Amino acid sequence: MHKSFRHETECLCLCCVTAYNLTTALHRWRKERTQERFGAAVLDDLRSDLVLPDAVLLRLVQCAKEGKIVSVADIKKETGWKEASLYGSDVLKLILVYFPPEVALESTQISLRALSLG
């Protein structure tokens, strides 16, 4: 296997693991916020996506991988999330833990190079 291809493949796998970890962190975060905002009974009886819908969560992870989210304004622009004004700064902090701007940009470049090799 060519050395640079192996490196790119490892980076792509790392990006997938990082995206999974961010997804897990966002699930945990929204469960905590739902319980804080609506109480444990609502969390048990309903669902945790009252604060952060599944579609928005998945879009946040995709945009984070692509390096599109570095501000709360980016969250609003990319997702249209109604709660971004209230919770956007908390979510942004989580995103930047897993995908700092330079890492997100690098993983996008690697993904594009890998696609062109295929």
Domain ranges of the chain: 3-117
Q: What is the pLDDT of residue 7?
A: 41
Per-residue pLDDT of the chain (118 residues; tens, 9 = 90+): 444 444 444 444 567 889 999 999 999 999 999 889 888 776 666 677 889 999 999 999 999 999 999 999 999 999 999 999 999 999 999 999 999 987 544 555 555 455 555 4
SS3 content of the chain, % helix, strand, coil (to 5): 80, 0, 20
Query: How many helices and strands, by DSSP H and E, does the chain display?
Result: 6, 0
Q: What is the pLDDT of residue 14?
A: 63
Q: What is the pLDDT of residue 25?
A: 97
Q: What is the pLDDT of residue 40?
A: 78
Q: What is the pLDDT of residue 47?
A: 75
**DSSP conformation class of 3:** H
Q: What is the pLDDT of residue 110?
A: 52
Q: What is the pLDDT of residue 109?
A: 52
Which of 43, 39, 78 shows the shortest CA–CA distance to 57? 78
Task: Say which amino acid occupies 61.
Answer: V
Rounded CA-CA distance 35/116 in Å is: 45
